[in-house]
Amino acid sequence: MIIAIDGHSSCGKSTIAKALAKKLNFTYVDTGAMYRAVTLFCLQNSLITNDVVDETALESRLHEVQISFVKNADVQETYLNGVNVEREIRSMTVAQHVSTVSKIGFVRAFLVKKQQEYGENASVVMDGRDIGTKVFPNADYKFFVTASAEIRAQRRYDELMQKEGKANYEEILENLKQRDYADSTRKESPLKQADDAILVDTSNMTREGQLEWILNKIQ
């Protein structure tokens, strides 16, 4: 079985997907982390200048990018070329560039192929921007998660304050709005709700309430 969860940045789709996968004993795949990992690779190798990607250099080196997910103390974390980069890929620096990297056609093709491989031999819950429209258009269940930009920014602010002890709400809100626009208007696999996806507005829902709501739809 394949469950596709798409939606806007910081709307809680990853939290829902993780909880759902754990409840159903499915494999969880965080596609957003994959795009963030490629973005981090670009930053580490000076392939981004003033938010412009050296696409020729990146395409020639994309084969060097190895992304994997490892469970540490029951928490799934992202590894880039064997190194745990979970903290680094969640930084504002990566967030400010990930939309630029993720709109590149050959990057999307590279990662979509890897994402589809996950669903070939296992039941998966996969979240991202184009899972129900591009990666698995025939998924058994599709959900599109959203929430107001202000609520999403507050959630992201609280998360960063808890993890790093510092954050700027206005900066986060502006970044979310920019990413919403970039994700929805890009040429390659733009963010949009699949025709057969179920809309989930989490603005006024607790994490427990979100999980219960989706489970009821599946069951």
Q: If 0-12 CB within 10 Å is exposed, 13-18 middle and 19+ buried, where does residue 17 land?
A: buried
* pTM reported for the whole predicted model: 0.82
Q: What is the CATH number of the domain that holds 191?
A: 3.40.50.300
Could you read off the pLDDT of 60-115 as tens digits, one per residue?
Answer: 999 999 999 888 887 889 999 999 999 999 998 999 999 899 999 999 999 999 99
Could you read off the pLDDT of 39-55 as tens digits, one per residue?
Answer: 999 999 999 999 999 99
Structural domain tally of the chain? 1
Domain that holds residue 176: 2-218
